[in-house]
Amino acid sequence: MSWKICHATAFEPEAYLVKGFLEHQGIPCLLEPCRFGMEPVRTGTLGTIGILVPEEWALVAAKLISHRASRPAHTRGRVIPFDTRRRRRMPATGRKGGSDL
């Protein structure tokens, strides 16, 4: 079985998140650390980590990752403005004094 890189990242936590996401979808995958090899480093993050999947799963995995990375704005949480300078007044209860026990 031949393996193909479907996604590459410079951050190890992201690589493990993508690997876990693909495995949860039923796609077998491996991580290929290309960080400290004999080749010169061409990026500022000391190389990349490749996520390998079997060649027959490469298109499916790439599509799943691309759909997950580009979420529409309407599915994200909405920020509610909050003004800390304004205080809400408590409603009057009509009671004067202590409790009515």
Q: For the segment 57-95, what is each residue's pLDDT rounded down to a tens digit? A: 999 999 999 887 655 555 566 777 777 776 666 666 765
Question: Does residue 92 lie in a domain region?
Answer: no
Question: Does residue 90 lie in a domain region?
Answer: no
- Of 8, 2, 4, which is closest to residue 50 (Cα–Cα)? 8
Higher-pLDDT residue of 97 and 56 is: 56
Q: How many domains would you assign to the chain?
A: 1
Our CA angle for 15, 20, 25, nearest 5°, is 130
Residue 30: partners with Cβ closer than 8 Å, 6 or more residues away: 3, 51, 52
Q: Name residue, tokens 């993508």.
A: 18
Domain region containing 46? 3-70
Does the pLDDT of residue 29 top 70, yes or no?
yes
